[in-house]
């Protein structure tokens, strides 16, 4: 028997990350920050799909988008 999930009201979570002017993070560091932020928000970055978008014209600004529905590990 399949286990059914409740439908989430808002299955996608979004936030923007901004850093002080002149503070440009490496791609590796930016990913570390994004993963830590997801964990702080109660999402496991290894069990939730997520995407990090960095601005080309604003290197101190990025967008973090994540599915609030985690994969089920049985």
50-68 residue pLDDT tens: 999 998 888 789 999 999 8
Global pTM value:
0.77
Residue of 67, 68, 63, 70 whose CA lies nearest to 33:
63
**Is residue 39 domain-resident?**
yes
* 2 within some domain: no
Q: How many domains does the chain have?
A: 1
Domain membership of residue 1 (yes or no) is no
In this prediction, residue 25 carries a pLDDT of: 86
In this structure, is residue 41 part of a structural domain? yes
Amino acid 8: pLDDT: 61
The model's pLDDT over 6-45, given as tens digits with 9 standing for 90+, comes to 666 788 999 999 999 888 888 899 999 999 999 999 999 9
Contact 16, 37 (CB under 8 A): no
Determine, yes or no, domain membership for 17.
yes
Q: Which domain holds residue 38?
A: 12-65
Please give the C-alpha separations between residue 12 and each of 17, 26, 46, 56, in angstroms, as whole numbers: 16, 26, 16, 24
State the pLDDT at residue 1: 44
């Amino acid at each position: 028997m399949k286990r059914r999930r409740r439908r989430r009201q808002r299955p996608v979570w979004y936030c923007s990350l901004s850093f002080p002017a002149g503070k440009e993070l490496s791609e590796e560091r930016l990913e570390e920050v994004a993963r830590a932020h997801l964990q702080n928000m109660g999402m496991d970055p290894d069990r939730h799909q997520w995407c990090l978008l960095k601005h080309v014209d604003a290197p101190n600004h990025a967008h973090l988008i994540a599915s609030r529905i985690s994969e089920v590990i049985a």
